[in-house]
Structures are given as structure tokens and as C-alpha cells.
Structure 1
């Protein structure tokens, strides 16, 4: 059985370094793992309980919930905006947290990684994302981390897939998440 990992990217920019990291993770997935990059976070309206009603959930939000429900784990890629998590990623987490107590990420392993321009590689945003995911019911995997500093200069002329240090670290992240989920499925 293949381990299905859903990748969400907290940047909507086409040339986003975090998107490039996610695309690289898709290519680095080991045998037995399928990393799927989710498309469509820009179409999801801001979470509003008034529109989150049976039969009335916006199609874009329902599509995200369906993708997360079908995944065995999530891998979040986040930049850091003003020292915190981007709104698009927080919004996705909010939609995935509902309905209360039965959200699409409930009990699923979630790893948060990313890159940012600052010297710490976006660790504040990653910490905020982990906090939100944990409260939303996801099972935050605290010991799998990757924060790559200096993204604007480091990736100015080099795609993350062409940076051997980054591909080695990202391969380890994906392999460890795959192994964790595989072990959980085997034990079940």
C-alpha cells in the first residue's frame, strides 16, 4: 500500500521557493510514497462558519477537505510573512479543522518545513503552523524539521532541486515521514 502525503504550500507566488521545495519533494518521494502537491488554495474563501454548513460548503473548501481526508499525512511548506504564518496556509488549516472534532486532518501526521529570506529560515512561521495544526487536531511531528535560511539569495540562481544540501535534507524529511506513516499502518 502506498503512503499518500498531501503537500500544501503557504505561498501563492508562481516562483515561490517554498513551491519549488514542494515540487522537489514530489520528485524525491521514495518507492511506496506518493507526495501530491495540492493546487487551489487561492480559490478557498476565508473561513466563515456561516458558509460552513452541510450542503453549503464552498466547492474549493470541500475539495481541500476531500484531498486531506484521502491523505495519510500532510507536509506543509511555509514561508514567513511578518514573522508568522501566511494567511493562505492558516485559512487552509482552519477549513481542515472543521467540523469540530471531525476535521480532515484529525490524528494525521503533519510535518512543517520551509524556507524564508531571514537568517532562521522561517522558524517562527513554522512554529505557528505547528501550533495551529495541533489545535486543529493534526498530529504534529515535532522531530522532523527543515528550515532553510536566506532563500532569496540562496535560490536566486539555483533551484532547490539543484542544491545538493537541500535535496539531501528534503529527501530525509520525506523518507522519515513515509517511514513513520508506514510503521503506523503496519502496526494497525
Structure 2
């Protein structure tokens, strides 16, 4: 039997992004799977550009990855009390592709941020962004990774016992949701 396919979206483009690290840890704790982090380095959405040139290939690739995935992971950073602009731009572009690749897909949302709330506000807003796409958003356990730059060891492993426990529970819930 083939491994389940997970696609991850990181709200941060930084090379050492703790959101990307959190996604990688999620895939590891999920268990055997084929995990890919989507490239969301899309041009800024502009309806005039779309009308002139269509949907960029990088956007279509991400939409196709969503469509082919068994489940989706999104981890958002918190910038100015909300998700990053790059993540919102990616969602806007993907919404312009044919069909709706998100419909019915199990989705686990999480956040990693420098602050003590761990991106809680950004995650709440991100959840509302996803409603029109109609994925099956897991309700918990919620992962709000606070002080995220100090939450991983030198191998990129999550160090806080409570975070590991809750992330493992979230991945078990995601696996169960795929089987539903």
C-alpha cells in the first residue's frame, strides 16, 4: 500500500523558518507518509496579470499538489496579529485555479511565532480564511508554538514535551480524519 500524501504550507519564507520546522515535525509524527512542502513564492496576485497571462505554473502546481494530497498541513507565523501576507497571497492565487482542490480535504492548522501566544490570533484568522474553500478543518488539539526560535533542538526536533504530545495527538486525529 502506498504511503499517504501530505502537503504542507508554511506561512514563512525564511530559510530557518520555525513554521517549516513545525510542518516537518508534524509529518514525522504523522508516521509513514510522502510529505512535500509547497513552494508559495508566488507573484503578488493581480487580476490584470491573471487576465493577461493566466494562472502561473507555480500556482497551478500547488493546486495540483493539494488535489493529489490525502491531507494538508498549514502552519502560519503571526505578523502584526495576523497570518503572513505571503500565505494570504498563496490562498488568493490558489482560489483562482479551476475547481476547488481544498474541498473535503482534511486540514490541520497550526502556528509558530516568537510571541508568548504562539500565533494564536493568526491561526484564528487563518481558519476563517479557509472556510470558503470547505476543507475538513480539524478543531484540535490546537498547536500554538510560542517562543518558537527556542522550541527545536539542533536536529530540528520539537523539544517541549507538551508540544510533542499535542502535535502527536493532532497528527493521530488527522490520520483518523483521512480514514473517515
TM range (shorter): 0.7 to 0.9
Q: TM-score, normalised by structure 2?
A: 0.85
Q: CA RMSD in A?
A: 2.4
Contact map agreement 2:7 2:37 (CA 8 A) in 1: yes
Shift of the 104–162 alpha-carbon distance from structure 1 to 2, 3 Å rule, reads: closer
Q: Paired residue for 1:80? A: 78
Structure 1 residue ranges without an equivalent (≥5):
none
Partner-residue secondary structure (3-state), 1:6: strand
Structure 2 residue ranges without an equivalent (≥5):
none
The aligned runs of 1:152-167 (5 Å cut-off) are 152=149, 154-155=150-151, 161-165=157-161, 166-167=163-164
Contact map agreement 2:141 2:167 (CA 8 A) in 1: no
Q: TM-score, normalised by structure 1?
A: 0.82
Q: Paired residue for 1:40? A: 39
Could you tell me which of 123, 134, 137 is aligned with 1:140? 137
Contact map agreement 1:25 1:35 (CA 8 A) in 2: no
Partner-residue secondary structure (3-state), 1:37: strand
| Distance in 1 of aligned mates of 2:96 and 2:136 | 15
Shift of the 97–27 alpha-carbon distance from structure 1 to 2, 3 Å rule, reads: same
Shift of the 6–147 alpha-carbon distance from structure 1 to 2, 3 Å rule, reads: same
- Give deviations 1:147-172, integer Å, cap 9, x for gaps: 121223x3386665151513332222
Contact map agreement 1:3 1:178 (CA 8 A) in 2: no
Equivalent residue pairs, number: 178
C-alpha deviation, 1:52, in angstroms: 4.1
| Distance in 1 of aligned mates of 2:141 and 2:93 | 24
| Distance in 2 of aligned mates of 1:138 and 1:129 | 13
Partner-residue secondary structure (3-state), 1:173: helix
C-alpha deviation, 1:58, in angstroms: 0.6
